[in-house]
Structure 1
Amino acid sequence: MNLQEVIEACDVGLCLLNAQRQIVAWNRHLADTTGKTDQEALLRPLEELIPQLAGPRFSKMVMTAVHANGADGALQTYFSLDNARHLFNIDENRFIRLSVKPLAMHPGFCLVQVCEIDDKLAKQEQLQAIGMADQRTRAMLSSVEDAVILLDAGGRVEFANLAAEGMTGYQSRLMAGRRLTEVYRVFDESGSEKSPLTLDMIIQGEGRQLMLKHREGPSLPIQQSITRLKNETGELESLVLVFKDTSQSRKLAAQLSWQSSHDPVTRLYNRTEFDRQLTRLLEQTAIEGGEHCLLYLDVDRFKIVNDNCGHAAGDELLRQLASLIKRSIRNSDLLARLGGDEFGILLSQCTMRAAERIADSIRHSVQGFRFVFGGKSFSQSISIGMVPIDKQSKDLEQILSHADSACFSAKDEGRNKVHIYDPVGSPAAKRHGEAKWVTHIRSALDQDRFTLFVQPIKSINSSGASEHVEVLIRMLDDSGELILPGAFIPAAERFDLMPSIDRWVIDRLIRYIVANRDDSLAAGRRYFVNLSGHSLCDEEVLQVILERIRSAEIPKGMLCFEVTETAAISNLTSAEHFMRTLQRFGCEFALDDFGSGLSSFGYLKHLPVEYLKIDGAFVKEMLDNAIDDSMVDAINRIGHIMGLETIAEFVENDRVLHRLQDIGIDYAQGFGICRPFPIEQLFASESERSL
C-alpha cells in the first residue's frame, strides 16, 4: 500500500504538505470539509483553504514535523505519530483537531490530519468513532513489513503486529498487558544476552544497532526507533516501537565491502585496497621511519595460456599462482592482484636483503610450477621488480612507477628475473629514447627513407638448389647514412609501428620482383620476408598482402614469410588464420628463432610452416657446447620427420658449416656464408656484383 492509497483510505481528512505548507496530495474527506476541488487545492498553502490556520502556531507545527528525524522503515506514514496535535476554533460551535506527523521515508514532507469536531456530538458516538479508528489503525499496522509494538505510557504492550510476533516469538495476545522488557529482550551487540537493556535504555536507544533474543531461536541484529505520543497538555500517552531485522542488509553491506576491496577471480586484495594500504604505509613510514619493500610481479607469457585455452584457463592460472605465491610470503605481508597478469606484494618491516630472498623464492616456485589445463601443459615463469620504501619515499605514484620500471627491466633482461629498482639505469630513460625514434620512423616512412638489403640462404646438403635470400630493412638518416634495424625496431614494436614498416617492406619487395620477374624465376629464387607479431594479428595487413600478391601475380612459392616462434605461439589462433590464408595464395612460412621458446615442439604441429630456422643462439656455440649441438640435431631430425626443411642461422665459420652438414641441416645463413648487401645488387650482372 503506497502513501497515496493510505491517505485516500482513511475516513478522516488527510493531506500531504511540503515545507512551504503547500498541499501535494489530499483525500475526499478534506475536500468535503473545505469545499474545494483538486484543481483549487493542489500546490496551495493549507491556510488559504482554512484561514483559521494562518499564524505562527501552524507554521511551527509543519516546520517541526518536516525537519524531524524519523526512523527507517515502512511505518513512516500517518502512523509515525508525534506530539504536534492542536485544536483550532473555526467558529463558535465548530472546532478542528489538527495533527501533523513527520515522514522519515519522505524527507521534506509531513502528513496533516484534519478532524472536524462538533460540540453537539454525543460522547458515546465519539467513543465509538475512536474505537473504530483504533481498529483500523491496528489492521493497517498488521499489514506493514516492519515490526511494530504499541505501548502505553508505562511501557506495557497494547498491540503487536505480525512482524513483531515473528521476530520476538510471542503472539500479540500473549504480549498484551506485559511489560515490554518481558517480550522484547534486546542487548548491545558488544554486550551479553545475560544483560538485556532496561525499558529506559530501550527508549533512549533509538537508531542503535541491537541484538534481539528470540523466544525460542537465535538472536538477530535489529535497528529500532521510538515515537512518543503526547496529549494536548504534553503528557506522554503512548509509545510506538518500530524495529526491523538488519541481517540481510548487513550481509549485503559486508558483500559490497568485500567486493570493493577484493579481486573476484583470485579473492586477493584488489588494486584499490593495495593502493590504500600502500598509502597508509607511506604515511606511517614518513613519521616513524622503518624499512619496507614493494614487489611488483608480472606473469611471463600469460597471453599464451589465455589465447590458446581461453579466459577460464587464464583465470585458473592466476588462482593457482596466487596460492603458490602465498606460500613464499609471511602472514604479515599483503598480496594483491593489481590487474591483468600483475600482482603486488607489500613487505612491511622487511630489509631489502630479506625481500630479495622472498622474491627469489617466489621466482623459483613459479619456475618449477607446471600449469595443466584441457590436456595441455604450460611451464611458467614470473618477472619481479623490487623497490624499497623508507623515509625518502615520496608518494604512491612514484613508488608504483619505480616498481613498474623495475619489473619492466626484469622482463627486458629475458624474463624470469628479479630486478631491484635503479634510478640511474631505469627503463624510463630507455623508453624516452625509444619515443624519440617514433618521429624518425614516421618521417622515414613519409619520405621513403628505408631501403632493402638481402642475405643469401645457402643450400648445404643438395646440389643445384634454388637460390634463397632473406630480405632485411635499413633506415637512412638525414645524411644518407645507414641505420641498422636494431636501433629502431624496438621502438617500432613498442609504439605499434611495425605493421606500417612491414607493409612498406612487402610493397617495395614486390616492386623489385615485378621489375625483375624473369631473373627471379630463372634463379628459382625464394624471398624470405620477416613479419612482426603485430602484423600477424592485423587483418588489414593480411588484406594488403593478398591484394599486392594478386595484382602482381607473384608466382607460387616465391614468397616465404618468417614469423618468430614467440609471436606465433602468443597469437596462435590469429597466426594460424593469417598463415593458412596466405598459403592458399601460394605463400610459404618459416618459423624463425625456433627453439627459443619453452614449448617449441608442443606447438609445432599446430603451425602450418614449411621451414624451421633454428635459433642462432644454439648454432653459435654448438662446437663448444654439447647441449647446443644436441638441440640443433634434435630440431633438425624432428623437422625432417614432419616434412620440414631446416635453416641454421648465425653460421660464422666453416667449422660450424661442416658440423651442420654432418648433422644434415638443409640450409645455412650467416656472416660465414655472406654478409647482407643491397637488394639492387641481387639483380646486377655478375661483373657488376663483384665490383
Structure 2
Amino acid sequence: MAIATGFAIGIVQIQQTVTSYVAGESAWSRGQTTTIHYLSRYTETGNPTDLATARRWLDIPLGDLAAREAMDLPEPDLEAAEDGFQRGYNHPDDIPGLIWLYRYFSGYPPFRKALDEWRAADRGLRELDAIADRLATEWQHPQPDQQRLASMRERLSLLNEDLGTKATRFRIAMTQASHSLANLLTLASMLFVVGLSLAAWLLGARLVRLLRRSEHRFRAIFEQSSVGILQVARNGVLLDANSASCGILGYSRERLLACRLEQLFPGQRDDPDSPPLTASHHADAQVRELRALKGNGETIWARLTMTEVVDHNGDGPYAIVMLEDISESYRLSNELSYQASHDALTDLLNRRAFEHRLASTLGRARSEHTQHVLCFVDLDRFKAVNDTSGHGAGDQLLRQLAKLIRSGVRDGDVVARLGGDEFGLILENCDLPTARPLAEKLRKSIEQFTFTWEGRQHRIGASVGLAAIDRHAPDISALMRAADIACYSAKRQGRNQVCEAGDQSALALGQPASPDWRLILETALTEGQFRLYGQEIIDTTENAPHRRLEVLLRLAQQDGSLCLPGQFLEPAFQLGLGPALDRWVVEQTLSLLQARQVSESQPPTICHLNLSAASVIDPNFINAVEERLQPHPSLASQLCFEISEDTLVHNLTDAQALIKRLARLGCHLLVDHFGASLNAFSYLKGVPVEAVKIDQAFVTQAASDQTELAKVRAIHDICQSMGIQSMALCVESAETERLLRNLGIHYLQGFLLMAPRPLESLLGTNGRAGVPSG
C-alpha cells in the first residue's frame, strides 16, 4: 500500500511539477518576445535603455538555459541549476520539483521529446544574445549601417516566429509527457493493487484517507497555480475553475461556473469552420489562441491548451483547459509585424509589402480580367531641400507629402514609400484613361504644396509614371520596370509631368525620339536582322562532359552596329513580342546545333536559352518547342532553358508545368538571378532544376563586401545539400574569380573569362544554318 500510495502521490507531484514547467515556459515565452520587441526598437532608435531592457528580459530564458546545462553536466551543479531557474522567474517553491523531474525523468521518451523541443530554442536564444552584441557594436559607429540594421530587424522578426513555434511545441510535448507519465504510473498502480486485492479490504480505510489527502494536495496545487485551469465537460459546461482563471477572466468563482465555455469566447461562435471548444476526442493537446470576454466587458487574447481526460468514475470524458493571458505578447507580435511591413518615417507600406500587394493585384487582374494602374511618383528638386535645410527638413517634408498623397487617392488604393523620395501607388479598378486625371491631380497638389522650414519656403514637383496592370502583364518585375521607365521619361521631358508606359519608353533608353518599336522588331523577325551570340560558361572542376554556352541576342541596325538587349527587350516585352523572340532563338539555335551535328563530330555542347515570363505562361510556346524537337529528339539534351527566379516565384504554377514538360523532353533547366527572395529555395522543391545562377548583385560585390560573399557561400552550400549545381555570372575581376573558385562554385561566366562571340563561330558550323549572314 505504501508503494501504491507512492504512485498516487507521484502522479500529483508530477502533474504539479509539469504545471510548474508550463508556467515557467509562459515567463520564458514572454521574456523572448519582449526581448525581440526592445531589440527591434533598438535597431531604429539606438536608445541604450532599449538595449538594457532587452538584456534584462533575455536573462529570463537564458537563466532557464543555464539551469538545464548545469543539470546536464556529468556531475550536476544543483546550486547553479537553482540559480538559473530563479533567473527564469520560476517560483522558489517550484524549483526543487523542476530539478527532481529533470534529473530522474529526462530519459523517459515523452519527457525527453519535450526537452528536445526546449533545446531546439537554444540556438535562437544565443542568436538573440549575439544580435544584441552586434547591435550595440553597430550603434557605436557615428553612422550605423541602416542596411545591416534592417537585416537584423528582419532576422528578429523571423526569430520571433520561430521561437514562438518552439515554445508552443514544448508546451504541447510537456502536457503529453505529463499524461503519458501519469498513465504509466496509473497502470503500474492498478497492477499492483490487483496483486494485493486479497489484502485490500483490511487497508481500505487507510487508503481512502490517503486518497483524500492526495486530493487535498491536488486541490492546493490547483488553486495556487499561477496559470488558469478550467475543467470543462464535453458539452461546454464549466465543472471547476481555479483562482488564477477567475482573476484572468475577471469573474467571481460562482459567476464563472455559471457560464459555458463558448460564452467566454464569443468570437468562436462567429466562426463556423472553427472546431468546438469541447473535449477533443483524443489525448493530444490542442492549443488555441482566442479573444476572451472578461466580466467587465473588456476583451483579452488568451491561449488555451485543451487536453481530454477520461474519468474512470463513469461521468464521461472532460477537458482540462490551461488558460494564459497573452494580450501583451499578441500586441507585441502585431507591432513587430506592422513594423516589418511599414516604412518607419512615413508610416506607409514599405517596398516589400508593396510588391506583395502588387502581386496580389496582378493575380486578380489575371483571374477576374480586371484593370488597375501602377503609379510611380518621383519627387523633383527634393535634393535641394536636403542640401539647403538639412536631412531633418527632408524627413519632415516626406512625412507631410506622404499624408498629402494618401489624402489625394481613393480609400481602396494602395500607397507605399519605395525608398528615398520615391512613392508607389496601386490605383484599383481603373484603366489608364481614368488614372491619368487622378495622377495629374496628385501632381498638381504636390506642385502647389509649399513646405516651410525655419522660415525658408520650398516648392517641389513630381514626375509620375503610369503602367497598366491587366491580364497581359507578365510579372511584377516587368510592371515595376515599365512604371520606372515612364517616370524616367517624365523627368527627361522636363520633370513635373505625367507619362504612361509605352508612349515614352525610348526617352528612358536615351534615344533622341521615340522609335516605332513594334515596326522595328516585327521587321527584324521577318527579315532576319537578329543575331545570335554566345558566351562560354566555364566549368571550374574541369571534368564536365559538356561544353556550355549562353545564347545572347543582338539586333543588327542599318549602320552595321549591334543594338544590345537592354535597348530592345523591354519594349518587346511591353508589346507582347517576348514569346515570338524566344521561339526565334530556339529555332535558330536548334538549326545551328543540327548543322553542327551533321558537319562534324565534336564534344556535346549545351546551349543556355533565356525565357521571358510571357513565354512561361504561354502554352503555345512549349507546344512549338515540342513540335520543333519531334524530328530530332536527341537535340533536346543540348538545350538548357533559364527561367528567372522572379518569373518562377510570381508564375509558380505555369512555371512548374512548363519545367516538367521540358524535362520530359530531355532538356536541362536552371533558375537565373537566384537568391533575391528569402523563400527562393522553397520554390525549388519538386521542380527538376539542375542548377541555379546566383544573382549578379551578390557576385559583383563578393570581392569587396564580406556580407555579399557570405550570401554567395550560403546559396552554394544549400544548393550542394539539394544536389543542385551553382553558377556565377558577371565575373569581371581576377579576385572575384579566385574567391568563387575557392568557394567551390561549379560554373563561372563573365567578360573576364570570355567576351560574347558569334554563336556559329563558337559552335564551329559552316554558315549560319538559316540565319542571314552579316
Q: Is this a same-fold pair by TM over 0.5?
A: no
| TM-score category of the 2 structures, normalised to the smaller one | 0.3 to 0.5
* TM-score normalised over the length of structure 1: 0.44
Q: Which has the larger radius of gyration?
A: 1
* TM-score normalised over the length of structure 2: 0.40
Structure with a larger share of its residues in helix: 2
